[in-house]
Amino acid sequence: MHEISLIQNIFTTLEETFPGRMNQLARIRITAGLLTNVQPALMQSAFDAVTATAPQYAGIKLEVEVTPVLIYCDDCKKTTEVVNYRFVCECGKPSKKIVQGEELMISQVAFSDEI
């Protein structure tokens, strides 16, 4: 289950970025593009497993936002959402230029003194 290592890496990154503030961390928001194959339910299960074994993370909430795949068409200069994994622009031309959907990032953190 790669979700466990993703969650562990998220906590490692946050510990390095916010030394001394982890005890105030209240919420983590992750943005995951559809092409990353990150499933919110599996991420939540992995998050629950990691926080259950690490008391210092008790009470932290996880939010996972899945973003759609967007492609850019050089012919008509439009951005189109990919539907059913068909990488075809509204104009009918195929496109390989993915502008959204491959990202996996910590998009927001909130501390208890900010909520």
Q: Which residues, other chains included, contact 33 with Cβ-Cβ below 8 Å and sequence gap of 6+?
A: 66, 67, 69, 100, 101, 102, 103, 104
Q: Determine the pLDDT at residue 115.
A: 60
State how far the Cα of 100 lies from the Cα of 43, in Å rounded to an integer: 20
Give domain limits for the chain.
2-68+101-111
Tens digit of pLDDT per residue, the chain (115 long)? Answer: 588 999 999 999 999 999 989 989 999 999 999 999 999 999 999 999 999 999 889 899 999 999 999 999 999 999 999 999 999 999 999 999 999 999 999 999 999 977 6
Bridge-partner residues for 6, per DSSP?
none
Structural fold of domain 2-68+101-111 = hypothetical protein PF0899 fold (3.30.2320)
Q: Determine the pLDDT at residue 48.
A: 96
**DSSP secondary structure string for all residues of 9-61:** HHHHHHHHHSTT-GGGEEEEEEEEEGGGT--HHHHHHHHHHHHHT-GGGTT-E
Q: Enter the pTM of the model.
A: 0.85
Query: How crowded is the C-beta side of 22, counted as CA atoms within 13 Å?
Result: 16
